[in-house]
Amino acid sequence: MNEIVSSLGDSQNQIIVWRYPTMSKVVTLTGHTNRVLHSAISPDGQSIATCAGDETLQFWNVFPPLKSQRCVSLSVVGETSFVRSYIR
């Protein structure tokens, strides 16, 4: 599958995964309380890391191996949050 991830410029502090080439929205990821400033994809292509103006880092496991089931979970520890959101 082909997807594009957008994170900058969204007024709702969201990360959006789009299906390419149709540009249909696959999933909207929320969790930051301020504008997302940076994003990067892991070398294996399975996870996205985001950093926002709220001084938090979040890790999104949105592209697990195709065997994995669809799952969404969030746990917050102090001021650090860990997010797993599977779309495949």
User: What are the residue ranges spanned by the domains of the chain?
Assistant: 3-85
Summarize pLDDT for 8-50 with one digit per residue, the tens: 767 899 999 999 999 999 999 999 999 999 999 999 999 999 9
Is the sign of the CA dihedral 65, 35, 33, 79 positive or negative? positive
Q: Measured between alpha carbons, how far is 34 from 37 in angstroms, rounded to an integer?
A: 9
Say what the pLDDT of residue 64 is. Answer: 83
Which pTM does this prediction carry? Answer: 0.69
Whole-angstrom CA distances from 77 to 56, 74, 80 are 12, 10, 5
- 27-36 pLDDT, tens digit each: 999 999 999 9
pLDDT of residue 6: 92
